[in-house]
Amino acid sequence: MKNKILHNISQKYASRWLVLSIDLLIVTITFFISYFIRFNFKFEFDFNSMLIQIPFVVFAAIVSFIAVGSHKGVVRFTGFKDIINIIIGVNILATLLIVSTFFSRKYIQNEIFNVPGSIIYIHLLLNIFFLIGFKLFIKSMYNALSSDFVDTKKIMIYGAGNNGMITYDAISNDPKKSYIVIGFIDDNESKVGKKIDLLPVYNLKSITPELVSKNHLEEVIVSIQTIDPPRLLNITGYLFDLGLHVKIVPPVQHWIDGDLSIGQIKNIKIEDLLGREPISIINPTLINEYENKVILITGAAGSIGSEISRKVSLYNYKRLILVDNAESALYDVQQEFNSKGISNIEIVVADVRNKLRIDQIFNQHKPNVVFHAAAYKHVPLMENNPYEAVSVNVGGTKNVTDIAVKHGVEKFVLISTDKAVNPTNVMGATKRTAELYVTCLGEKGKTRFITTRFGNVLGSNGSVIPLFKKQIEKGGPITVTHKDITRYFMTIPEACQLVLEAAAMGTGGEIFVFDMGEPIKIFTLATNMIILSGLRYPDDIEIKITGLRPGEKIYEELLADGENTKRTYHEKIMIAKTRNIDSHNLEEQINKLTSINSATQPLEIVSTLKALIPEYISNNSTFEVLDDKKNKNRINN
């Protein structure tokens, strides 16, 4: 019922002619008051002369107000521009009266147009005061009445600088009036204790449980553009402990048309607490890179493949071919594109292990650029299923790359992982083998092969973020394999932007790696997520250490032994300088590996992998026995 009443009120707007009529009434009343003030609040003036002048004053006011359109504004939304319009309008009115008085005294000698100068100036000031005051009074009355029907939150803004004031203005001008700002928080002690627009400025430690309770404070909006992620984590942790919700204002470049609106203020996400600045790549050459090209993406239904598809869809490509063997997930991607009205895509259900089928797809669509994202990626599962890992990550990659060379594809981009660096598990070893095979093909045909290597992707299928969310929703505990385990992290958009950038930048044979900043402890990530959920560790949610899984290592690396980097034109992107390899011998070993066609021979498969990748040393795995044998052979030799 309340919402219905509010809706009815909000849909009713006063006629602009009614607004003009009220403005003219105010001008008439202030004209009388001006005479009264001028003659010391006594009726010692010619009342008849004043009455004769009123029609002319009203006419001049009509001309002035229509000229500036001050009557067209919605009174309850009166803002700074409306106030300026009123001031301009009453100044035009005063100017018309002064000019008419001048000509009347000099040429006409008519009482109607001869308004005393002192009266004009008093009238001007009274008009400014009463016209603006009246509109602000109506606005405040509407806000007071509507607040009875709207659920409002009392909030504070963290940041009393320019961005804080922009946020304050956006909230103040929000028609829904869902927030009431009761103060600011700032780290600058010179601002603490002072007032901004009559609102007090506090430091963080001043926000106590007593203050929260007394002011019925519910939420804090962080509005600082250059805040460090560790500092942001400290702030959110402190505020969450007080039972407050925390939101954050997005970077200026994400504001719509350069203006901030309430709808853009979002809840803090785990990406905001990564401990590094988000990686941003803006490269105009990408537009030309995909202009009128047929682009094929394998693994297009996965987290990375689907995001690459979304980003590529923003360019003026000729056709987009999405290949995956997961039909349900691929169907979801298809429906997403259909809902956006994107029609020049082809959805293909196919397995990269089927060489004949892949060849048919390439022959039919003749792609110019290929992004190969199809792979098995779960470390523990692949440790128990090495045959499947090799068949997809090595055999599937071999099929797609061989066919790319056969059909003269311009560029081939392999999506790799930091687990390929000094691998300790089957999955990482197969991805490193795929990297090496791509390197072998660098001199065959015209296809330019490029590899992108990055760390863990936040929010991807099977990653720790969705797992931790489910565990928190169930009340815990969160499971972490080791308290010191660390990983490099990036968001899905960052990872996919790197892939597109690499495709444009690469000339063939490069392995691109990101400067991803400092790795973050998974244990820290878990505690951060507990905080973001509005809970506390260990009071509300516990973290359980389960022990390292087979093949898992504590620290990940982005560069293998014998590799170093050279810089590119982007400060966050580097090229790994790899050691020289015997392409012919390596290709023979890979062919031998992919020819093992029995899943019942895991030791033979992994042994062949270890011969291919000398730095592959198993960790916490049944395959460690092969490393013991390898070490004994080294000693005997």
Distance between CA 205 and CA 87 in Å, rounded?
43
Q: If DSSP codes are grouped into helix, strand and coil, which group holds residue 328?
A: helix
Scored b (16 or more CB within 10 A) or e, 530-545 reads bbbeeeebeeebebee
State the pLDDT confidence band at 327, using cuts at 50, 70 and 90: very high
Distance between CA 145 and CA 152 in Å, rounded?
12
User: Which segments of 104-177 does DSSP mark as H helices, in order?
Assistant: 117-147, 162-172
- pTM attached to this predicted model: 0.64
- Annotated active-site residue 42? The verdict is no
Q: Residue ranges of the domains in the chain? A: 2-147, 153-268, 285-456+490-516+557-612
User: How do residues 219-235 score in pLDDT, each as one tens digit?
Assistant: 898 888 777 766 777 78
- Kindly write down the DSSP assignment for every residue of 412-465, as one continuous string: EEEEEEGGGSS--SHHHHHHHHHHHHHHHGGGSSSPEEEEEEE-EEET-TTSHH
Does domain 285-456+490-516+557-612 fall under CATH 1.25.40.10? My reply is no
What is the residue whose two structure tokens read 């394999």?
A: 481
CA dihedral (553, 554, 560, 561) in degrees, to 10, reads: -100
Closest among 369, 350, 368, 370 to 360, alpha carbons compared: 350
Handedness of CA 594, 372, 612, 602 (dihedral sign): negative
The pLDDT assigned to 400 comes to 97
Distance between CA 556 and CA 551 in Å, rounded?
12
The pLDDT assigned to 557 comes to 59
30 close to 123: Cβ distance less than 8 angstroms: yes
User: How do residues 225-265 score in pLDDT, each as one tens digit?
Assistant: 777 766 777 788 788 878 788 888 876 544 544 456 555 67
Q: How far is CA 497 from the centre of its chain?
A: 14
Distance between CA 95 and CA 55 in Å, rounded?
17
User: How do residues 411-431 score in pLDDT, each as one tens digit?
Assistant: 999 999 888 888 999 999 999
With residue 153 as reference, give the H or E element that holds it.
strand 153-158
The active-site residue, picked from 398, 411, 419, 572, is: 419
Closest among 120, 101, 125 to 112, alpha carbons compared: 101
DSSP E strands in 186-318: the ranges are 195-196, 199-202, 217-222, 245-248, 266-267, 294-298
Q: From the CB of residue 23, how many other CB atoms can be counted at a distance below 10 Å?
A: 24
State the pLDDT confidence band at 566, using cuts at 50, 70 and 90: low
* 633: amino acid identity, one letter: N
CA dihedral (266, 269, 271, 277) in degrees, to 10, reads: 50
Q: Which residues contact 529 (CB under 8 A, 6 or more apart)?
A: 270, 465, 468, 469, 472, 478
Q: Which residues contact 576 (CB under 8 A, 6 or more apart)?
A: 453, 510, 511, 512, 513, 558, 559, 560, 563, 564, 565
Domain 153-268, CATH homologous superfamily name and number: NAD(P)-binding Rossmann-like Domain (3.40.50.720)
Distance between CA 583 and CA 570 in Å, rounded?
30
User: How do residues 473-489 score in pLDDT, each as one tens digit?
Assistant: 888 899 998 888 887 77
Structure tokens at 256: 């719509």
- Radius of gyration, CA atoms only, the chain: 35
What is the residue whose two structure tokens read 């009174």?
A: 75
The pLDDT assigned to 144 comes to 64
Angle between helices 492-505 and 303-312 (to 10 degrees): 60
User: When comparing pLDDT for 288 and 517, which is higher?
Assistant: 288
346 close to 319: Cβ distance less than 8 angstroms: yes
272 close to 246: Cβ distance less than 8 angstroms: no
Fold agreement (153-268, 285-456+490-516+557-612): yes
